[in-house]
């Protein structure tokens, strides 16, 4: 992950701009997604959509579509920011038990493209 800019003077996470190559920074719960970092594409700086945040947290599009019907974008951003990726949780818990340190390797890993096209 490479930080390529800052759009606020405070130096806070919400003003950070990252390259669209590499990993995503940590998602956080916040108002209207403003707490989440922005990504810089070849043409412009934009914030992640709620669907992209949910994909990064390893939720299926089907789960997102169900939640989108009954939640505002603000709530969708908060829900993504307050969740944890299952593989990360398994890796953390695996460190607590002798002989289970590599349990996360057996978890299902998605290979989908996380970012929406034509955004």
Residue 113 forms part of a structural domain: no
- Whether the model clears a pTM of 0.75, i.e. scores above it, the answer is no
Taking 3-state DSSP, the helix, strand and coil percentages for the chain, each rounded to the nearest 5, stand at 40, 10, 50
Residue 62 forms part of a structural domain: yes
Which residues constitute the domain of residue 50? 3-106
Residue 116 forms part of a structural domain: no
Q: In tens digits, what is the pLDDT along the chain, a chain of 119 residues?
A: 676 666 666 656 566 676 666 666 666 665 555 555 666 556 666 788 999 999 989 899 999 999 999 999 999 999 999 998 887 888 888 888 878 777 767 766 554 554 455 44
Residue 118 forms part of a structural domain: no
Residue 111 forms part of a structural domain: no
Instruction: Provide the CATH number for the domain around residue 49.
Output: 3.90.120.10
Residue 117 forms part of a structural domain: no
Asked whether the beta carbons of 34 and 81 are under 8 A apart, the reply is: no
Residue 112 forms part of a structural domain: no
Q: Looking at the 3D structure of the chain, how many domains does it have?
A: 1
């Amino acid at each position: 992950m490479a930080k390529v800019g800052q759009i606020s003077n405070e130096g806070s996470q919400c003003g950070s701009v990252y390259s669209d190559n590499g990993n995503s920074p940590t998602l956080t719960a916040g108002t209207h997604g403003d707490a989440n970092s922005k990504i810089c594409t070849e043409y412009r700086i934009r914030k992640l959509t709620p669907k992209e945040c949910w994909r990064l947290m390893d939720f299926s599009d089907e789960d997102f579509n169900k939640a989108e019907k009954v939640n505002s974008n603000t709530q969708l951003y908060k829900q993504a920011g307050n969740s944890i990726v299952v593989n990360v949780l398994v890796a953390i818990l695996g460190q607590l038990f002798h002989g289970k340190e590599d349990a996360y390797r057996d978890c299902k890993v998605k290979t989908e493209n996380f970012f929406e096209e034509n955004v």
